[in-house]
């Protein structure tokens, strides 16, 4: 896979103008962007429509966790916007994930990804909500459930990728947030890794945030990330 197509830049911006400026700076170099709760709440679906109109792939990271009917309705709405990937929460169980997959069938270009364990969570955090297993074990439990429900792939930390790739096979998408270049702070991620390590372990995509979006020159930072993915 072309390294450029493996990088998703997270548009975690407070407003549409900031997001638009970043997209303009990166130009044709960046093909895919993540739109999450922050930008969607601030700017609405028009932010997604604008990216799609520019030929960009949009990873709509909403971590849907609702009754299956509502999840299906949200997936269909995302499909109508032209979204390429959408996330559901694996903790919602088979019913939610299956409903999302079924709703996505009308949009062949859209893939449903199941969030396993948020990269900020530790074993202690899981224990607080009644999950006695370690984060790694919970990741793989939910990944198996997601695959059985028909999801196209999963969201997991860089540290989980190698085992996930072995268990899920060559075709599953494995998208990894929590990646930073060597020497950078992992910010709020408890299980981070470098973009190179994630791809080398078998990730299909890496989600890059502050490394690019907070850089003095985002285009140069993006090029550095891209270069790091090649041997």
Which residues are part of the catalytic machinery? Answer: 63
At residue 219, the 3 state secondary structure works out as helix
Burial annotation 164-183 (CB, 10 A radius, 16+ → b, else e)? bbeebeeebbbbbbbbbeee
Helix 46-53 with 68-81: angle, nearest 10 deg: 40
CB 51 within 8 A of CB 28: no
CB atoms within 10 A of CB 73: 15
Report the chain's terminal Cα–Cα distance, integer Å. 13
CB atoms within 10 A of CB 156: 32
Encoded tokens for 92: 């919602």
**DSSP annotation string for 180-213:** --TTS--TT-SS-B-HHHHHHHT-SEEEE-HHHH
* C-alpha closest to that of 5 among 35, 36, 30, 34: 30
């Amino acid at each position: 896979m072309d390294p450029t197509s493996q990088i998703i830049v997270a548009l975690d911006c407070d407003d549409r103008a900031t997001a638009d400026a970043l997209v303009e700076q990166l130009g044709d170099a960046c093909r895919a962007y993540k739109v999450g709760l922050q930008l969607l709440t601030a700017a609405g679906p028009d932010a997604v429509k604008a990216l799609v109109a520019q030929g960009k792939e949009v990873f709509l990271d909403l971590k849907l966790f609702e009754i299956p009917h509502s999840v299906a309705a949200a997936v269909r709405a995302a499909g109508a916007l032209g979204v390429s990937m959408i996330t559901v929460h694996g903790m919602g169980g088979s019913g939610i994930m299956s409903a999302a997959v079924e709703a996505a069938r009308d949009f062949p270009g859209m893939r449903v990804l199941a969030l396993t364990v948020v990269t900020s969570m530790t074993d202690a955090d899981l224990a607080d909500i009644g999950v006695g297993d370690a984060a790694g074990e919970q990741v793989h439990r939910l990944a198996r459930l997601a695959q059985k429900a028909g999801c196209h792939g999963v969201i997991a930390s860089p540290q989980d990728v190698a085992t996930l790739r072995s268990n899920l096979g060559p075709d599953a998408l494995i998208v990894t947030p929590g990646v930073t270049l060597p020497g950078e702070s992992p910010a709020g991620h408890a299980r981070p890794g470098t973009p190179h390590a994630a791809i080398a372990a078998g990730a299909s995509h890496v989600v890059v945030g502050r490394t690019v979006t907070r850089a003095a020159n985002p285009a140069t930072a993006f090029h550095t990330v891209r270069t790091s993915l090649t041997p």
